[in-house]
Amino acid sequence: MSWYLSYIVIYFVIMFAMGFYYFFKVKTYDDYLIGSWDTGFWRITGTIISTWCGAAVFIGWVGMGFTVGLSGFFKFALPGILLSLLLIVAFAGPLRRQRLYTLADLFGERFGGRAGIIPSVLSAFIYSVPTLALQMVGMSTIFQITLGIEPNVGIALSFALILGFTILGGLPATILTDAIQSIIVIIGIIILFIASIVYAGGFQDTIANTPIEYLSPLGPDGLGEILLYALSVAPFYMVWQSTWQRIFASESEAVAKKAGITGFLIAGAISFLPFSIGVIARQYVPLDMDPDLLFSYVTAELLPPAVGGIVFIGLLAALMTGATSFILQGSSNLTRDLYQRLMKPNASNKEMMKTARITVVIISLLGLLVSYFVTDIATAYQWALRLSATVLVFPFLAVMFWKRTTKAGIVGSMGLALIATLGWPYLGIALDHTVFGFLVSIISLVVISLMTQHDNTEQVRAVYWEDLDSADPTNQ
């Protein structure tokens, strides 16, 4: 335990030292929540890797590999990476040139402030809060395994550490520590993968002793099931605000694109390892083990504390960076989209900074409450992704490409898609709930837009085409 305690104490001393440094350095709201649109290549690359590798990756995906095999990578991780790369390649330039803060900002600029309410609330409460809770649960698991702290106490401790660091440093501290933590994350997961292979007797023995359905990319259910899962989860990454914030924070379009592509390619390579570890673990752990406990159990059992402590710090780093990113995402939505746009458009920098830190506390407290009720990390994460995707993907694409879309069409589409996705379990419809939500979204968006006129609060434009025509060639 002394090794674990030493690693954890050193880690948090370094984290909070950086937090205090940025507490005194950050002077403006732009600095605190968006890094003043001035972050370089390596920091953006590192923060993308670290944010991607959170509780769902380390804990949920190791557990998924244990239960369904390598097909989980092709159902969830690979489609998410591909859609994230599509977002970077196709939209990083136009989005970066808008100089926005949040996803909802795009809707607010195009249709007027109130049009951003639904995406803002969805991003802050439906996505940020539960995913923050997942990070707290993950951290509590580490504290339980390494220090013997009871889960409920561990969740409270996680909350205090996450909140303290986020209030101090904001996005600049998060991005800097992410860049450093990404190295720890990569080292940690590679160490655990190698240890798992060695403990299982090598690649040959592992493959020979593993049922083929756990090694097949298609799994036992075939290509159709893979495509259905990919459709259910992957589109969310087109509207994942964490990626959008990294695009906005980049110092140029070129950095946004190069760092985004580099970060997600590395994250994709890393993502294969948790599923592999889960499959390999079937050789030497009880098959009735709780999948969410598998990562911590394997680390503690296979590795001596001096080495296992590095792996646990890698996971702790991933959870911390995910938690701070999700808090700042929710805080941006509440501060920018609700407070400034709807309540006080002329708020001073001091008022915005104060509100930003208050909303950090609000999001953190809500995450703490939810964390005590989370029982299935993978399922909770998937539901947050699906709901966000069905409500926001087609409205986002319409804003970018379809000039004829109207405020009524966008708001109606988001509202109806939200109701349809949430109400699906009670409708008795055989169609997959995500597919159903997407159909409601696009049909209602097109029909309502064609039946209504542009509101006088709108800037009537297709952002992608207009911005493409006016792009500054010197900023490439």
Asked if residue 80 lies in contact with residue 233, where contact means CB atoms within 8 angstroms, the answer is yes
The proportion of the chain whose per-residue pLDDT surpasses 70, expressed as a percent, equals 92
**Span 27-36, mean pLDDT?**
66
Q: What is the pLDDT of residues 142-156, one digit of tens each?
A: 888 888 899 899 999
Asked if residue 293 lies in contact with residue 151, where contact means CB atoms within 8 angstroms, the answer is no
Q: How confident is the model at residue 467 (pLDDT cuts 50, 70, 90)?
A: low
In a domain, 449, yes or no: no
CATH (domain of 136): 1.20.1730.10
In a domain, 428, yes or no: no
In a domain, 423, yes or no: no
Q: What is the pLDDT of residues 233-274, one digit of tens each?
A: 788 889 888 888 888 888 888 999 999 999 999 999 989 999
In a domain, 320, yes or no: yes
Q: How many CB atoms lie within 10 A of CB 475?
A: 11
Tell me the C-alpha distance between 66 and 281, whole Å. 7
In a domain, 407, yes or no: no
In a domain, 465, yes or no: no
Number of domains in the chain: 1
Helix (H, G, I), strand (E, B) or coil at 345: coil
Report pLDDT for 474: 39
Given a cut of 50, whether residue 473 has pLDDT beyond it is: no
Give the mean pLDDT of the chain. 84
Tell me the C-alpha distance between 119 and 333, whole Å. 9
Q: Extract the tokens encoding 21.
A: 């440094």
Tell me the C-alpha distance between 10 and 91, whole Å. 39
In a domain, 262, yes or no: yes
Least confident of 64-68, 172-176, 203-207, 405-409: 172-176
In a domain, 446, yes or no: no
Tell me the C-alpha distance between 84 and 234, whole Å. 8
Rg, the chain, Cα only: 22
Phi, psi dihedrals of residue 39, rounded to the nearest 5°: -100, 140
Highest mean pLDDT among 33-42, 65-74, 299-308, 429-438: 65-74
Report pLDDT for 394: 95
Report pLDDT for 263: 92
- Domain of 46 in residue numbering reads as 2-390
Q: Is 208 exposed, middle or buried (0-12, 13-18, 19+ CB in 10 A)?
A: exposed
Contacts of residue 344, Cβ cutoff 8 Å, sequence gap at least 6: 351
Q: Which of 44, 47, 49, 41 is nearest to 268 (CA)?
A: 49
Go through the chain and tell me how many residues it has. 476
Q: What is the pLDDT of residues 167-210, one digit of tens each?
A: 887 767 777 777 777 788 788 888 889 988 988 888 888 888 88
The amino acid sitting at 188 is: G
Given a cut of 80, whether residue 469 has pLDDT beyond it is: no
